[in-house]
């Protein structure tokens, strides 16, 4: 047993040493937080930790560099920073983690240097609803409380590969982590487009049973839709001609029997997408073209 524990300890030290090369600290009150060097001069971290004017970054070599905000992804709580000095960091190796795998979270502290915490992947999931803001397509859950100051930093597998970025706070009794591949996909979008807006229609709705005529027109494939109880002025729904009393049954070809389905469809399409919305108005089905707004 002693040898097994010694081997595990040695492996963990190697994993943490690899992570130290791409884990940075970010100036934040009342305590520092973390970020991940993802190649070149780019730092990926949690959006809710970063002010619009940028921040100071504690680098792996102990130096401090200023970084400017390149953009945000509010649904995934990600922010991309650009270091202002001359730096060309190597991109970290990425990997995956399965339920039952041991994983390590790492932070860089201005006083203590690298700190680490051990956890286990307790779940892998898809389509996690994030309140009214959107849907997280894929996520990991871990069973241990997050190390204070590690938010925005990396989650690593046993080989020291990046498997996730710690952004969201604790949900449903477990820590929720964005998988590395999804986080890097979103970082690329931020780099290409700047800050990504949260999709927004400007409506309030409630699920209702569809009238018989609409159910017959849909060949019995759907029993409920979303009754619009308010339509805000100056937003996407009003611009498209949607009205209070309309019952939305599909959004971009996707059935929306309830609010969760609408949120998921909005998140998948994104702000700026042009889509067709099928509604029941006056007992008849009609199609309205709409450009999704953003906030």
pLDDT in tens, 191-234: 998 888 788 899 999 999 998 888 888 888 899 999 999 999 99
The reply to whether 3 and 145 lie within a common domain is: yes
Indicate the residue among 194, 212, 232 that finishes a domain. 194
Nearest Cα residue to 280 out of 224, 230, 239, 219 = 224
Q: Which domain holds residue 110?
A: 1-194
Nearest Cα residue to 213 out of 289, 290, 286, 276 = 286
The reply to whether 209 and 110 lie within a common domain is: no
**For the domain that residue 136 is a member of, what is the CATH number?**
2.40.10.120
Which residues, in sequence order, are CB contacts of 216 under 8 Å at separation 6+?
Answer: none
In this prediction, residue 127 carries a pLDDT of 76
The reply to whether 126 and 163 lie within a common domain is: yes
In this prediction, residue 118 carries a pLDDT of 95
The reply to whether 31 and 139 lie within a common domain is: yes
Half-sphere exposure for 98 (CA within 13 Å, toward CB): 0
The reply to whether 181 and 243 lie within a common domain is: no
Structure-block tokens of residue 109: 């502290």
In this prediction, residue 206 carries a pLDDT of 94
Sort residue 207 into left (φ over 0), alpha (ψ -120 to 50) or beta.
beta
In this prediction, residue 168 carries a pLDDT of 74
The reply to whether 134 and 107 lie within a common domain is: yes
In this prediction, residue 208 carries a pLDDT of 94
Nearest Cα residue to 292 out of 261, 254, 252 = 252
Half-sphere exposure for 54 (CA within 13 Å, toward CB): 14
Structural domain count, the chain: 2
In this prediction, residue 204 carries a pLDDT of 92
In this prediction, residue 216 carries a pLDDT of 86
The reply to whether 188 and 235 lie within a common domain is: no
Does residue 182 have a pLDDT over 90? yes
In this prediction, residue 94 carries a pLDDT of 96
pLDDT in tens, 65-95: 999 999 999 888 899 999 998 888 889 999 9
Nearest Cα residue to 200 out of 143, 238, 145 = 238
Backbone angles phi, psi at 68, to 5 degrees: -100, 150
DSSP codes of every residue in 22-68: TEEEE--SSS-EEEEE-SBTEEEEEGGG--TT-EEEE-TTS-EEEEE
pLDDT in tens, 104-143: 999 999 988 999 999 999 999 887 776 655 677 889 999 8
In this prediction, residue 85 carries a pLDDT of 82
The reply to whether 185 and 213 lie within a common domain is: no
Task: Measure the CA–CA gap between 79 and 167, rounded to whole angstroms.
Answer: 10
Counting other chains too, the contacts that 214-223 makes at CB distance below 8 Å and 24 or more residues apart are: 214/247, 214/249, 214/280, 214/283, 214/285, 217/285, 218/249, 218/285, 221/255, 222/249, 222/255, 222/257, 223/257
Which residues, in sequence order, are CB contacts of 142 under 8 Å at separation 6+?
Answer: 103, 105, 119, 120, 121, 122, 155, 174, 175, 177
pLDDT in tens, 241-293: 999 999 999 999 899 998 888 887 887 788 888 999 999 998 889 999 999 98
Indicate the residue among 162, 194, 226 that finishes a domain. 194
In this prediction, residue 93 carries a pLDDT of 95
- Looking at the chain, the whole-number percentage of residues with pLDDT higher than 90 is 62
The reply to whether 44 and 181 lie within a common domain is: yes
pLDDT in tens, 15-63: 999 999 999 999 988 888 999 999 999 999 999 999 998 899 999 999 9
The reply to whether 123 and 94 lie within a common domain is: yes
Indicate the residue among 194, 221, 244 that finishes a domain. 194
Task: Measure the CA–CA gap between 291 and 251, rounded to whole angstroms.
Answer: 11
The reply to whether 159 and 218 lie within a common domain is: no
More confident residue, 265 or 162: 162
Does residue 172 have a pLDDT over 70? no
In this prediction, residue 1 carries a pLDDT of 54
């Amino acid at each position: 047993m002693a040898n097994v524990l010694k081997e595990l300890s040695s492996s963990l030290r190697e994993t943490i040493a690899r992570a130290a090369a791409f884990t940075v600290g970010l100036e934040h009150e009342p305590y520092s937080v973390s970020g991940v060097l993802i190649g070149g001069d780019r730092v990926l971290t949690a959006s809710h930790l970063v002010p619009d004017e940028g921040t100071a970054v504690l680098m792996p070599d102990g130096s401090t560099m200023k970084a400017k905000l390149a953009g945000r992804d509010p649904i995934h709580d990600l922010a991309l920073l650009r270091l202002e000095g001359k730096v060309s960091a190597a991109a970290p190796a990425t990997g995956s983690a399965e339920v039952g795998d041991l994983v390590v979270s790492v932070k860089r502290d201005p006083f203590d240097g690298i700190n680490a915490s051990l956890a286990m992947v307790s779940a892998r999931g898809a389509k996690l609803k994030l309140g009214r803001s959107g849907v997280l397509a894929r996520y990991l859950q871990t069973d241990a409380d997050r190390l204070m100051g590690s938010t925005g930093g990396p989650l690593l597998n046993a080989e020291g590969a990046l498997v996730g970025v710690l952004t969201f706070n604790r949900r449903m009794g477990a820590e929720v982590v964005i998988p590395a591949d999804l986080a890097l996909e979103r970082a690329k979008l931020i780099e290409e487009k700047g800050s990504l807006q949260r999709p927004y229609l400007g409506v309030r709705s409630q699920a209702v049973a569809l009238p018989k005529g609409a159910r017959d027109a849909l060949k019995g494939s759907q029993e409920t839709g979303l009754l619009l109880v308010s339509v805000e002025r100056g937003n996407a729904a009003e611009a498209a001609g949607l009205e209070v009393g309309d019952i939305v049954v599909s959004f971009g070809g996707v059935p929306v029997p309830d609010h969760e389905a609408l949120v998921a469809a909005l998140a998948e399409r994104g702000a700026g997408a042009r889509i067709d919305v099928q509604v029941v108005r006056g007992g008849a089905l009609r199609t309205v073209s709409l450009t999704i707004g953003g906030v």
